[in-house]
Amino acid sequence: MPSVVPDTTRVVVVASSPRGLPIAEDFAVREEPLPPRASDQLLVRVDVLSLDPYLRSLLGQGHLDDPALGPGQVMPGRAVATVLESDDPSLPVGSLVLGETGWREHAVLPVALASPVRVPERVPASAALGLLGMPGLTAYAAHVRHLAPRPGETVVVSSATGGVGSLAGQLAARSGARTVGIVGSREKVALAHTLGYDQVVVRTESDWIDQLHAACPDKVDAYLHMGDQATLDGVVEHLALGARVSLCGLIDQSNGAPPTRFRAGAVMLARATVRGLVVHDHADLAAEHAERVGALLATGALGLVEDTWNGLEQAGAAFEALMSGRNRGKVVVQLHREGE
């Protein structure tokens, strides 16, 4: 670990507000001074930065209670970081913490808003940003409270190999359900099968509806939606009686598409239950999620898939890949490795 504390650090700022899909050139790296640290704050070095789809909303109208970002502002984001300076004995120098650092190499964080990284032995710390972090809790909450699959039922998951979908499919399979993953390219089919999906549908192919019907001959009992309007329409028109739908993400709307519409007639015909999912509403499941998913990761019963980019300067390109659906698993940017 460096013994000299830097006076400045590199950060990623918004260079221009994206129109439609964000591209790498919408972001720029610049140097800025590090603020002085107070006794109730930590100085940390960012080791692994999490990139998440909700950040796209901040480049438009804002996300929930968070206002929109404009050019020149630092991109927000959560990271696993190493403590370089601390006056708090519970988070000493050298410990790993989770915190909202933003897209930067170093950050000053309030002690109250940092938490120790806890992952099982032989599980990488980056899992705290993925399967054991917010995406994992999202998948777990959808599984437990919205989809509730029973043995033999058919569960469909869009964005099946992403940060949320990669866990959602595995949880459904462990419940005894038939699992069908929807992916954006033929190249992701093999990956989806390694994550336990029984059947895989490629939504960008012209016959994808036929693929869906063939994969779900008894229709769809539970559906986790994180895709576009066309995917939502195709699945909703193939719901089984009493189906459950969890609306988790509207990726095309985030990228500037018109507001998503729901086919009410298909929902009525299936007597389906449709629920919206915001992960912050399910914080009470966090301990249960961490314990159960952590135990499965520790034994190798769950697959951990990460799309790792190296270096802060790659954050913009990594975010472009994420928002265009080219990622394979949870997207993280590695800035430093443990022990360096």
179-204: pLDDT as tens digits: 999 999 999 999 999 999 999 999 99
Q: Binning pLDDT at 50, 70 and 90, where does residue 2 land?
A: very low
Q: Are strands 330-334 and 41-50 parallel, antiparallel or unpaired?
A: antiparallel
User: Strand 239-247 vs strand 8-14: parallel, antiparallel, or unpaired?
Assistant: unpaired
Tell whether the model's pLDDT for residue 229 goes beyond 90.
Answer: yes
For 308-326, letters b (16+ CB in 10 Å) and e give ebeebebbbebbbbbbebe
Position 287 pLDDT exceeds 70:
yes
Tokens of 125: 């710390």
Between CA 297 and CA 198 the distance in angstroms is 21
Residues 71-102: tens digit of each pLDDT: 999 999 999 999 999 999 999 999 999 999 99
Query: pLDDT over 70 for what percent of the chain?
Result: 95
In the numeric block, which tokens belong to residue 49? 């930065």
| Token code pair at residue 248 | 């988790």
Q: List pLDDT tens digits, range 151-166.
A: 999 999 999 999 999 9
Domains in the chain, CATH or no CATH each? 8-130+305-334 (3.90.180.10), 134-281 (3.40.50.720)
Q: What is the DSSP string of 152-195?
A: T-EEEEESTTBTTHHHHHHHHHHTT-EEEEEESSGGGHHHHHHT
Residue 235 has pLDDT above 50, yes or no: yes
Average pLDDT, the chain: 94
Q: List pLDDT tens digits, range 242-286.
A: 999 999 988 776 676 788 899 999 999 999 999 999 999 999 999
- Total residues found in the chain within this entry: 340
160 to 37, 170, 318: CA distances (angstroms): 42, 10, 18
pLDDT classification of 338: cutoffs 50, 70, 90: low
Q: Distance between CA 249 and CA 140 in Å, rounded?
A: 15
pLDDT value of residue 61: 67
Four-CA torsion 139, 143, 144, 146, nearest 10 degrees? 110
Indicate whether 1 pLDDT > 60: no
Residue 66 confidence (pLDDT): 67
Q: What digits encode the pLDDT tens for the residues 39-75?
A: 999 999 999 999 998 898 888 765 556 678 889 999 9
pLDDT for the residue numbered 158: 96
- Average pLDDT (121-134) is 96
